[in-house]
Copies of this chain bind each other. A is one copy, B any other.
Amino acid sequence: MANSPGIDQAKEKIILDAAQKRFGHFGLAKTTMTEIAADVGMSKASLYYYYPDKEHLFLAVIEQEMDEFIKALTAMIGEEEPASKKLKQYTSIRHEYFRRLISLAKLGEHTLSAMKASMDVFKQNLEKQEKELIRRIFQEGIKNGEFESFNAKAYADLFVATMQGLRVSVIHKKTLSETKEEDYQLAEQYQKQITAIFLKSISK
């Protein structure tokens, strides 16, 4: 009753997991509904009983990832740790999530971008949540005297946008040649350094 009236939650999860495996392996374009159906051991038509179309199924997979990501973040933030440590942990977790999303769409990002409005809304929503979480970390740091006083909201927006830029650059650079492992690592290194600089500039 949580979803559509009386839809079997367990069955839905099974489909979701199968889809996740396929998408993670071959990306959105190279995965067919028939394949997913076969994996689950049901007919393609049944998939459409649970999900209106392929896009929604894909979105559901991504949303599941996002939920885990947000959950991990929220839990981490809830702990009794210095705000500075939390910010650093955010950087790691966020980069990891980025890599997972990339492999889902495969070569993706192009595919991701190509996907219409629904994806945009999804992204904006995530960005908003992230900015809010980072703002809280800043706020907390200010309150407990770890940081000096500053505009937490503005800094959070800037911080998230900056990290996003460093990640996007990775994808953007390579023309046809696929992105290399070292590119991801360089991006991660930059993200860590930026985090350190942010911290240095606001720490008491």
Which residues of A does B touch, CB under 8 Å?
113-114, 116, 119-120, 154, 158, 161-162, 164-169, 171-172, 175, 190, 193-194, 197-198, 200-201
Contacts and interface: CB of A to CB of B under 8 A. Distances in A.
A48 B158 CA distance: 48
A196 to B, nearest CB: 9
A116 B172 contact: no
24 contacts: A113-B172, A113-B175, A116-B175, A154-B193, A158-B194, A161-B166, A161-B169, A162-B162, A162-B165, A162-B166, A162-B190, A164-B169, A165-B165, A165-B166, A165-B167, A165-B168, A165-B169, A168-B168, A168-B169, A171-B172, A172-B172, A197-B197, A197-B201, A200-B201
Contact of A197 (B164, B172, B198): B198
This protein's copies in its complex: 2
Contact of A168 (B172, B175, B200): B172
A175 B110 CA distance: 10
A106 to B, nearest CB: 18
A181 to B, nearest CB: 17
CB-based closest 9 A-B pairs: A165-B165, A201-B201, A200-B201, A165-B169, A165-B166, A197-B201, A168-B172, A158-B193, A168-B169
Given A113-B175, A164-B165, 12 more contacts: A114-B175, A116-B175, A120-B175, A158-B190, A158-B193, A158-B197, A162-B165, A162-B166, A165-B167, A197-B198, A200-B201, A201-B201
